[in-house]
């Protein structure tokens, strides 16, 4: 099929506003360093007013993943909602400019395009305050049956599993993908996201809705309410066919039944901004997986893509990822 | 006077959209490398659609200069017009966030905030296509008499010397500043700007409207229709009390009557994006000049600020400029 996609992602469509601030800024504003919080439009305006100058760069977790898949030579598509405003047009432009097939109709109305206010600390850690705007207005009508049915992997952003309309949209995508014998993947997104929807997420794994799950170690442990990462890994192995757990500086583990493949991180030229590291790990893994690489090589591709994105500001790749993969995997 | 400014600039209020492209991109789109062109809203939309992903960073030539003056510890103000839209709010936020006193009321209406589409080439040279939007709607009413009268230097952006309303605004600023015995400075902005307004610019110097002129060597030579830089420098010396001519890799020359002070460039850690080098040279010079430095030291401050801004994307300083000045000048 000519227009078949390797990865079709469903997620939040967000423009990031990136600023660098001292640790005192976070303390003074009562923001836990490294956290991801949802904030109101009013709160966003107040926080923005206190922030230093920013740079606006397109983001959104699953959207970043599709940009990475495309940079790695995969055919990627994205479903997510912006508003027809200046930042919505920035999001549309940027994702299409990297070759991602993006067709979701923008909203017209008073709710603006989502923004994520990102504070990067001197140690490169990012702290995110997200105003979700129109991106959580996604609904079933936005899920294009033919595109989902034709995509090898449909990749769902856990962050979207919250208001009723996006949950309906994600359920519809799962049903279409499975009816077409396709793979459904999901990222658990965030530890608070897991805490809020733990029963749902476990249910989606136990009832066979998910074939592949991405989680960092904190999310995996939150899912099983444990502080033992091995318990979490074994827990995932028991309820989902394939899982990938990222462990920051300790690399990543691929979990398939009794099999475990651990890979170390790749060295980064410098560590400037860790925003998007998890999103790009998923991109590398999915690009490898859908192009026929084995699980270990797919995970190595994840670590290569993650290493690149932390070398610069912004959560989408800027260097030649395919060249980096060739340098490591041949 | 408590609220006295060192530098009050009047200029275009622009948000830059920065992308990196090969030289072929410029050739394919018929854009002369290194040029600054004015384009329509329709042309901007068409060019943007062909560009790669961008990062939005506040710009505008004189606005960049005020951000540099503030980063160097000077008291800076800016007058220039945005629209009350998302990018207009980005501009307002960013310039205030670096400590520049900015009060111009935003326009409400269909004309959007100005954007400059900047293509950065692999050799770090920038090519600019500017859609001027609302920033050329500036008029006399925006020139606040008390602020201009209290500013040590009123700095005018040559780019604004084009439509009738901004010309009226600049003339009003000159009249107020001189009535208060203040210094009026102007940047010639661009070689095409000089070619289009050569008689006006020469007139402003000959009739005493300008006390200090900034030009790069191409602008200076265009002003005197010569290809001999010494002729241009001597020409400036004859008609303006003080001039600074920047000469790219050859550094800068300060021209005051028969006096000449040449300074070399400062080494940059890397050369990534030359956008803003001239703007930041002016910032360094003005910050030195208004804080009582001599002409040579002021020019050295210009070269320090220019060196920093070419090390990263975006035309406003990111590193600690005051520390860099201390390292060089003590």
Contact between B93 and A57 using a beta-carbon 8 Å cutoff: no
Nearest C-alpha of chain B: how many angstroms from A237? 39
- Partners of B187 in beta bridges: B157, B214
How many beta carbons lie within 10 A of that of residue B24, not counting itself? 8
pLDDT of residue A159 exceeding 70, the answer is yes
To which residue do tokens 């949209």 refer?
A: A169
Partnered with residue A131 across adjacent β-strands are A115
pLDDT of A290 > 70? The answer is yes
Position B2 pLDDT exceeds 80: no
Provide ipTM, 2 decimals: 0.92
Question: How large a percentage of chain A has pLDDT more than 70?
Answer: 99
Set of chain A residues whose Cβ sits within 8 Å of the Cβ of B55: 55-57, 313-314
H or E element, residue A200: helix A198-206
For the residues of B251-276, what is the DSSP string, one character each? Answer: -EEEEETTEEEEEPPPPPS--S--TT
How many other CB atoms sit within 10 Å of the CB of residue A26? 18
Contacts of A305 (CB under 8 A, 6+ apart): A68, A71, A72, A280, A281, A283, A284, A287, A317, A321
pLDDT digits (tens, 9 = 90+) for A81-102: 999 999 999 999 999 999 999 9
Lowest mean pLDDT among A220-224, B35-39, B60-64: B35-39
Residue whose entry in the numeric block shows the structure tokens 């560590």: A271
Give the position of tokens 């989606």. A204
Q: What is the DSSP string of A263-299?
A: EPPPPPS--S--TTHHHHHHHHHHHHHHTT--HHHHH
Gap between the Cα atoms of A102 and B206, Å rounded: 58
Pick from B112, B159, B208: nearest CA to A89: B112
Residue length of chain B: 330
Q: Is the pLDDT of residue A68 over 90?
A: yes
Tell me what pLDDT residue B110 has.
Answer: 87
Query: Mutation test of the interface with chain A: which of B56, B60, B89, B269, choosing the one with the most A Cβ atoms within 10 A?
Result: B56
Q: What pLDDT does B131 receive?
A: 96
Partners of residue A90 in chain B, C-beta under 8 Å: 54, 56
Instruction: Inform me whether the pLDDT recorded for B1 exceeds 50.
Output: no
Mutate to test the interface with B, among A60, A86, A122 (most CBs of B within 10 A): A86
Q: Suggest the residue from A46, A93, A111, A134 to mutate for an interface test with chain B (most B CBs closer than 10 A).
A: A93
Distance of residue B56 Cα from the nearest chain A Cα, in angstroms: 5
Nearest to B284 by CA among B270, B272, B271, B296: B296
Q: Are A247 and A217 in contact (CB under 8 A)?
A: yes
Query: How many Cα atoms sit within 13 Å of A202 on the Cβ side?
Result: 14
State how far residue B142 is from chain A, nearest Cα, in angstroms. Answer: 23
Residues in A whose CB is inside 8 Å of some CB of B read 20, 48-49, 51-58, 67, 85-87, 90, 93-95, 97-98, 112-113, 313-314, 316, 318
Structure confidence by residue, pLDDT tens digits, A91-140: 999 999 999 999 999 999 889 999 999 999 999 999 999 999 999 999 99
Average pLDDT score over chain A: 96
Measure CB to CB from residue A97 to each of B51, B55, B314 and give the nearest one. B51
Average pLDDT in the B145-173 region? 97
Q: What is the pLDDT of residue B3?
A: 64
Select from B198, B260, B204, B206 the least CA-distant residue to B226. B198
Per-residue pLDDT tens for A224-253? 999 999 999 999 999 999 999 999 999 999
Q: What local confidence, expressed as pLDDT, does residue B109 receive?
A: 87
Task: Report DSSP state, residue A107.
Answer: B
Asked if B314's CB is within 8 angstroms of A90's CB, the reply is no
The SS3 of residue B5 is: coil
> What would the pLDDT profile of A201-232 be if each residue is shown by its tens digit?
999 999 999 999 999 999 999 999 999 999 99
pLDDT-based confidence at residue B76 (cuts at 50, 70, 90): very high
- Evaluated on CA atoms A59, A62, A65, A70, the torsion sign reads negative
Distance, CA of A281 to CA of A216 (rounded, Å): 10
Q: Check residue B97 and give its pLDDT.
A: 97
Distance, in angstroms, between A71 CA and closest chain B CA? 12
∠ Cα B141 B145 B151 (to 5°) = 130
d(CA B124, CA B271): 6
**Going by C-beta distance under 8 Å and a sequence separation of 6 or more, which residues neighbour residue B45?**
none
Rg (CA), chain A: 18
Give the pLDDT score at A189: 96
Contact A55 B57 (CB under 8 A): yes
What's the pLDDT score for residue A3? 64
So what's the pLDDT on residue A292?
97
Output helix, strand, coil percentages for chain A, rounded to the nearest 5. 45, 20, 35
Domains in chain A, CATH or no CATH each: 7-12+60-110+134-329 (3.40.1190.20)
> Quick one: three-class SS letters along A57-87?
EEECHHHHHHHHHHHCCCCEEEECCCECCHH
Read off the pTM: 0.95
pLDDT tens digits along B87-126: 999 999 999 999 999 999 999 988 999 999 999 999 999 9
Beta sheet of A212-216, edge-to-edge order: A101-102, A76-79, A7-10, A153-157, A183-187, A212-216, A242-246, A252-256, A259-263
Is 60 exceeded by the pLDDT of residue B206?
yes
Interface with chain A: mutation pick from B93, B318, B321, highest number of A CBs within 10 Å = B93
Chain B residue nearest residue A85, CA to CA: B86
């Amino acid at each position: 099929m000519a227009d078949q996609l390797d990865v079709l992602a469903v997620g939040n469509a967000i423009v990031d506003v990136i600023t660098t601030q001292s640790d005192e800024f976070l303390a003074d504003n009562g923001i836990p360093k490294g956290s991801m919080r949802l904030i109101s439009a009013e709160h966003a305006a107040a926080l923005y007013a206190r922030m230093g100058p920013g740079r606006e760069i397109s983001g959104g977790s699953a959207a970043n993943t599709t940009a990475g898949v495309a940079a790695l030579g995969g055919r990627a598509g994205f479903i997510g909602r912006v508003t027809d405003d200046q930042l919505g047009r920035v999001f549309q432009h940027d994702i299409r400019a990297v070759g991602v097939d993006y067709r979701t109709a923008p909203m017209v109305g008073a709710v603006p395009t989502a923004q994520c206010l990102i504070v990067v600390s001197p140690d490169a850690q990012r702290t995110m305050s997200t105003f979700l705007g129109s991106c959580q207005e996604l609904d079933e009508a936005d899920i294009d049956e033919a595109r989902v049915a034709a995509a090898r992997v449909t990749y769902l952003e856990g962050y979207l599993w919250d208001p009723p309309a996006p949950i309906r949209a994600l359920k519809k995508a799962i049903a279409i993908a499975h009816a077409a014998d396709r793979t459904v993947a999901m990222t658990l997104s965030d530890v608070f996201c897991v805490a809020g929807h733990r029963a749902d997420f476990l249910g989606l794994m136990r009832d066979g809705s998910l074939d592949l799950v991405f989680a960092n170690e904190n999310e995996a442990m939150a899912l099983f309410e444990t502080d033992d990462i091995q318990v979490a890994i074994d827990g995932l192995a028991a309820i989902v066919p394939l899982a990938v757990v990222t462990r920051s500086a300790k690399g990543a583990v691929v979990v398939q039944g009794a099999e475990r493949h651990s890979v170390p991180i790749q060295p980064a030229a410098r560590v400037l901004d860790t925003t998007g590291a998890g999103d790009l790990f998923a991109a590398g893994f999915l690009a490898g997986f859908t192009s026929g690489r084995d699980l270990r090589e797919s995970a190595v591709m994840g670590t290569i893509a993650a290493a690149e994105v932390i070398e610069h500001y912004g959560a989408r790749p800027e260097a030649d990822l395919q060249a980096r993969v060739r340098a490591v995997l041949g």
